[in-house]
Amino acid sequence: MKITPRLAALLFMSTSLLSSAWSASLNLKGRPDVSCELEADSGLIVLSATAPKPDNATDPTAIWFHFNAVGKSRFSDQKILVTRQQLIMKVDSDFPGTFARLYALQLKAGDYEFKTWSFTQAVPNERTSVHTPAKAPARLPFKVVAGRVTYLGSFTPSVASDTDLTVTIGDQSARDLPAFAQKCPNIASNLVDTQLLKTGPWN
């Protein structure tokens, strides 16, 4: 088949569109970007999450923490994702010495709650499976304040069994808030509040 200039242009456009769609799919599956924008009707929540150190092939390859606005249905779920790999792309840690990632999410002002977690498990020569808690964990409420930043804490999951996690919530503000300030130097420190989720085991 002869490649004419018109056909070459069409092929280029098609490739560009496919590349854009592929990039979009990667972004949807990757972590939310750290947002540094404060708007009149929105605020930021800041938190971190850790991926368990890989010990064997059945460890979680990705962990989601699900949250939504209070009173909204499960179809309004939003998620943060902590993972060591994003499809074929390597994801770097935000902190030295451990695999942990910082999140700064822009949300409309209002009441929210973390409701559950889930994780994927990749077993060699088997299908990747998704696991959720056998019993729904306690909901973790938090408030988003317009024009302000709220630090919520840090999730530290560990593998309890092949199909279960334990998740502990702690205060890593001494580590997380300087990292946030470095990523968002435009936000004054007097706009940052600490409103920790209930610390300790999340069950």
pLDDT band at residue 14 using 50, 70 and 90 as cut-offs: very low
Task: Please check whether residues 56 and 1 belong to one and the same domain.
Answer: no
Candidates 74, 75, 49; CA nearest to 62 is: 49
Is the Cβ–Cβ distance between 48 and 100 less than 8 Å?
yes
| Pair 135, 115: CB distance under 8 Å | no
Provide the domain limits for residue 17.
Answer: 1-30
Residues 4 and 91 in one domain: no
> Do 15 and 39 fall within a single domain?
no
- Shared-domain flag, residues 68 and 115: yes
Statement to judge: residues 152 and 110 lie in one domain: yes
Mean pLDDT to the nearest integer, 6-33: 39
* pLDDT, tens digit, 9 for 90 and up, residues 121-169: 766 666 778 888 888 999 999 999 999 999 999 999 988 777 788 899 9
Going by C-beta distance under 8 Å and a sequence separation of 6 or more, which residues neighbour residue 123? 57, 58, 129
Number of domains in the chain: 2
Residues 55 and 14 in one domain: no
Structure pTM?
0.79
Half-sphere exposure of 188 (CA within 13 A, CB side): 4
User: What per-residue confidence (pLDDT) applies to 131?
Assistant: 85
Q: pLDDT band for 189, please (50, 70, 90 cuts).
A: very high
Any idea what DSSP says for residue 19? H
SS3 call for 6: helix
Same domain, 75 and 175: yes
Tokens linked to 196: 């920790």
47 and 89 together in one domain: yes
C-alpha 109/C-alpha 107 separation (Å) is: 6
Same domain as 75, residue 14: no
